[in-house]
Amino acid sequence: MPGYLTKQEDVAVVGAADLIIRSLLDKQQFSDPLGAADALGISSASWPLFGLLWPSAAQLANRMASRPLRTGERVLEIGCGLGLASLVCHRRGMDITASDCHPLAESFLQENVRLNGMAPLKYRTGQWGAETQGQDGSVQGQFDLILGSDVLYERDARATLASFLDLHAANSAQIWIVDPNRGNRATFHKQMAMHRFEVVEERLDRPALGNVAAYKGRLMVYERPVRG
């Protein structure tokens, strides 16, 4: 690919077959010759983040490998990046749509779909903040399960993520967020509570084991209480 370097590796998924993943070589890669990322407010420093393998994405993928299948369930991954969780869901036959705001996320995702011998995976542009809402190619409709990993990396004073989730979550939906203790969790809980979401947290702390690095974080599951 012109403008940046990539690598390809096998990524282990607990309880499932490994995935072949193409990612950026490192955090120093950058190429935005047409200014597409800049127009979306993606700086040169944050440009490569979509194309790296992140520990929280692996944690979410591991959980989706063992989650019971539910007939007719519509699933959305937000801020998918390389889409590990989406790839696991797709391989299991779930009705999954991956989404991200980065202009190269779809091409990397579909290449990883191809490398793993899967049929094309549904992809939509998903950027909380409403700039893309209603536009062609943007996330549309409601979902029964919404997934995200490491999406609370910035302080969201306008609660744009909570509003995005409220818009696209069906009444009985679950929202699964894996957060590596970024520090914005308490504020996000309050923002979700404004949309009647209650949360249950599960610690995902794991010690280092062999070549696998230690991990500290939480799985947060949000649901609206059922009204009688």
- Predicted pLDDT at 21: 98
Query: Is there a domain that residue 163 lies in?
Result: yes
- Residue 139: give its domain's CATH number: 3.40.50.150
Expressed as residue numbers, the domain containing 56 is 6-26+48-223
Per residue in 15-58, pLDDT tens?
999 999 999 999 999 999 888 888 888 889 999 999 999 999 99
Report whether 49 contacts 39 (CB < 8 A): no
Query: Is there a domain that residue 35 lies in?
Result: no
- Residue 131 above 60 pLDDT? no
Domains in the chain, number? 1
Give every CB contact of residue 198 below 8 A, 6+ residues apart in sequence.
222, 223, 224, 225
Query: Is there a domain that residue 32 lies in?
Result: no
pTM: 0.94
Query: Is there a domain that residue 40 lies in?
Result: no
As to burial, measured by CB atoms within 10 angstroms (0-12 exposed, 13-18 middle, 19+ buried), residue 24 is buried
Give every CB contact of residue 183 below 8 A, 6+ residues apart in sequence.
none
Q: Kindly report each contact of residues 121-124 with a partner whose C-beta sits within 8 Å and lies 24 or more positions away, as own/partner.
A: 121/83, 121/86, 121/87, 121/90, 121/96, 122/96, 122/97, 122/98, 123/97, 123/98, 123/99, 124/97, 124/98, 124/99
79 DSSP 8-state letter: S
Per residue in 64-115, pLDDT tens?
999 999 999 999 999 999 999 999 999 999 999 999 999 999 999 999 999 9
Query: Is there a domain that residue 228 lies in?
Result: no
- Using alpha carbons, select from 35, 173, 140, 75 the residue that is nearest to residue 83: 75
- Predicted pLDDT at 222: 98
Query: Is there a domain that residue 33 lies in?
Result: no
- Predicted pLDDT at 173: 97
CB atoms inside a 10 Å sphere around CB 157: 8
Phi and psi for 45 in degrees, rounded to 5? -70, -40
Report whether 160 contacts 191 (CB < 8 A): no
Alpha carbons within 13 A on the beta-carbon side of 196: 11
Residue 94, token pair as written in the block:
């779930």
